[in-house]
Structure 1
Amino acid sequence: MEQQAFPGGMEEHMSNGLLEVTGLTVRVEDKEILHGINLSINQGETHVLMGPNGAGKSTLGYALMGNPRYEATAGEILFQGKRINEEGADKRARDGMFLSFQNPIEISGLTLSSFIRSAVEQRRGERARLSAFRKELGQAMELLQMDRAYGDRDLNVGFSGGEKKKAEILQMLLLKPSLAILDETDSGLDVDAVRTVSLGVKEYQKDREGGLLIITHSTRILESLHVDKTHIMVDGRIVKTGGAALVEEINRNGFEQYLGQQGCARGGR
């Protein structure tokens, strides 16, 4: 796992601001899940959000993406300098935010390639030339070791868990979002699939133009990735922030030392 320092001082840090979350409190139905979350991600940075099952990690991803089930009752979300609390998920996606899901949906009658092409056109605000799109799609599929025939299959229908995760990384590579949120992308994958998905994530990281938030309770997908900051979430609160070394600490010792910190109330998702 790589760790690098960004060159430059405070002026560069401020100019690269991508996501700024301040005091975010989130409810699901009648239950408060997140309590006063603060999080800053700059352009080109990779952040990791770790914590035990039920800590509230996925809730943060859904809330950032604007899922209406996850109600932000306090706090502020700034994306690329603009307050987006009231914006829907579609608008946030068009503006450059991307979320991969733990359980991607299946859509019969819509091929994977057609879905991605439509998403790319909405993201860019213009029609995608078919020849150029097919070339770019093919190159990304080759990187992810996906047979090009998958592009003609209905979206996620009959896909294995690993194929669904590869399809989401494929979407990310074609969409080139400003901020990609990967929620448990390595969950349920075998070693080879984790390695392939990691290749796609490294490709996204390569030009350091987009920010990345990896949500996980494991460390497998992080082994070969550059990590700038690591955040530990317990019971809906971020209880510690550190660098890449914090991932290694969790790998050795687990989350036990952080459980019960700050008087956290149980009930994260």
Structure 2
Amino acid sequence: MSENTLEIKDLHVSIEGNEILKGITLTIKSGEFHAVMGPNGTGKSTLAAAIMGHPKFEITKGSIVLNGEDVLDMEVDERARAGLFLAMQYPSEISGVTTSDFLRSSINARREEGDEISLMKFIKEMDGALDELEIDKNMAQRYLNEGFSGGEKKRNEILQLMLLKPAIAILDEIDSGLDIDALKIVSDAVNKVREETGLGCLIITHYQRLLNYIKPDFVHVIMQGRVVKSGGAELAEKLEKEGYEWIKEELGIEDETVGQKA
């Protein structure tokens, strides 16, 4: 089990000249789960998009380093090959590409030429993951996310996580659209990947309920584009009970929004 480290230092990110992130510093190591919480519009999803290289987001200062390699010098596909993974808040539909073809191509893209996964091994691994996530096997032959419900799309993101086995994963509100039963199934799958591979994870969520199933080692609160408070799992529990007003009062923050959903 290899040791992996994602280091984010003094990260500043802008959208169309509007600065959203104003100096984020986080280090995520193998086996560590970091939860990022905060009110709407504070920069949580901006952080995820910036790490993965979304062209809309301009890095104006700071660095992102994965295992000593400069992530900001990598194209989006190179970041994925290096071991970064994003479970998206709003997964895209891709017509004409079946889920199984997408998954097998993604696995092979991270392997050396000549070491591609065999069809039989792939089918065995995919079928096992489908069973664990309680996904109908027919879904593997449907076009990626096309006509999927919100819950099916979220399970499909975790299916990708299970098969790709990334070094560091970013889970952007994977709990939205899931009922309690589905949330437990998805959480169990994430926990299993963590146990088997030493997955490091950045979990973006609004709600404590997800963190009841996926226990974070660290909880960070982002406001006005900065990490303003960090703690253990107990911090998320306090936020669930008391909201964010007490943090705003501590910091003298009157209006938290940054003008757009971020």
TM-score range, shorter chain: over 0.9
**1:198 pairs with one of 176, 187, 190:** 187
* 1:27 paired to 2:26: no
Q: Is the 8 A contact 2:165 2:197 kept in 1?
A: no
* 1:148 paired to 2:137: yes
Q: Is the 8 A contact 1:17 1:81 kept in 2?
A: no
Q: Secondary structure at the match of 1:39?
A: strand
Q: Match for residue 171 of structure 2?
A: 182
Farther off after superposition, 202-211 or 117-126: 202-211
Gaps of 5+ in 2: none
TM-score by length of 2: 0.93
Q: Match for residue 244 of structure 1?
A: 233
Deviation digits for residues 5-34 of structure 1, max 9, x if unmatched?
xxxxxxxxxx95611111100001111000
Calculate percent identity across the aligned residue pairs: 46
Distance 1:84 1:224 in 2: 30
Deviation digits for residues 43-68 of structure 1, max 9, x if unmatched?
11011001111111000000011111
Q: Is the 8 A contact 2:132 2:189 kept in 1?
A: yes
Distance 2:223 2:188 in 1: 29
Q: Match for residue 82 of structure 1?
A: 69
Distance 1:68 1:83 in 2: 17
Return the offset for 1:262.
Answer: 6.8
Q: Match for residue 79 of structure 2?
A: 92
Return the offset for 1:208.
Answer: 5.1
Distance 2:140 2:94 in 1: 13
Q: Is the 8 A contact 2:64 2:71 kept in 1?
A: yes
> Which one-letter code corresponds to 2:87 in the other structure?
S
Number of paired residues?
A: 255
**1:228 pairs with one of 193, 201, 217:** 217
> Which one-letter code corresponds to 2:125 in the other structure?
E
Q: Is the 8 A contact 2:87 2:170 kept in 1?
A: yes
Aligned positions of 1:54-133 closer than 5 A = 54-125=41-112, 126-133=115-122
Q: What is the RMSD of the two structures over their aligned residues, measured on CA atoms?
A: 1.7
Q: Is the 8 A contact 2:4 2:168 kept in 1?
A: no
Distance 1:102 1:226 in 2: 20
Distance 1:189 1:226 in 2: 18
> Which one-letter code corresponds to 2:218 in the other structure?
K
Q: Is the 8 A contact 1:239 1:262 kept in 2?
A: no
Provide closer, same or farther for how the CA distance between residues 71 and 39 of structure 1 changes in structure 2, counting only shifts above 3 A. Answer: same
* 1:213 paired to 2:202: yes
Farther off after superposition, 246-255 or 134-143: 246-255
> Which one-letter code corresponds to 1:169 in the other structure?
I
Q: Is the 8 A contact 2:4 2:167 kept in 1?
A: no
Deviation digits for residues 79-125 of structure 1, max 9, x if unmatched?
11222222121110000000011110001111101101100000123
**1:44 pairs with one of 24, 31, 43:** 31
Provide closer, same or farther for how the CA distance between residues 248 and 208 of structure 1 changes in structure 2, counting only shifts above 3 A. Answer: farther
Q: Secondary structure at the match of 2:72?
A: coil
Distance 2:141 2:180 in 1: 26
Distance 2:223 2:121 in 1: 45
> Which one-letter code corresponds to 2:99 in the other structure?
L
Distance 1:104 1:115 in 2: 14
TM-score by length of 1: 0.90
Q: Secondary structure at the match of 2:60?
A: strand
* 1:18 paired to 2:1: no
Distance 2:59 2:138 in 1: 41
> Which one-letter code corresponds to 2:61 in the other structure?
A
Gaps of 5+ in 1: 1-14
Q: Is the 8 A contact 1:186 1:194 kept in 2?
A: yes
